[in-house]
Amino acid sequence: MSSTLGSKIQKIRKQKGLTLEELAKLTDSSKSYIWELENRNLPRPSAAKIAKIAKELEVEIEYLLDNEAAVSKEEAVDAKFYREYKKMTPETRKKIRDIAKLIGKK
């Protein structure tokens, strides 16, 4: 039985048309490691490896690691945006808020 993490990796990998070998190469992993992630319940995959996989699959780490399916892909993207937003200067944050107000008007 594959884990939620493994199921998500496999599903997204296949949606993107990537083979095990291709994802392994993109993430500096072995084919067997990716297969193990997808098909076995590995105790603790490294955070660095999961980050590389998330980047190559174009999803957020939070989405991959959420075992209860409480975080959607969109919510994970929003969480990443907010982390980046908090690092911006006050002037840049104000500009983004102003743009959001303009977009939100109908």
For 12-63, write each residue's pLDDT tens digit. Answer: 999 999 999 999 999 999 999 999 999 987 667 888 999 999 999 988 888 8
| Encoded amino acid at 79, one letter | A
- Is 1's pLDDT higher than 70? no
pLDDT at residue 41, as a whole number: 72
Q: Which residues contact 80 (CB under 8 A, 6 or more apart)?
A: 60, 62
Return the CATH number at 72: 1.10.260.40
The whole-chain average pLDDT of the chain stands at 85
Residue with tokens 């072995």: 30
CB 79 within 8 A of CB 62: yes
Find, among 62, 51, 57, the residue nearest to 10 by Cα. 57
Q: What is the domain count for the chain?
A: 1
If we measure between CA atoms, which residue out of 59, 63, 64, 80 comes closest to residue 72?
63
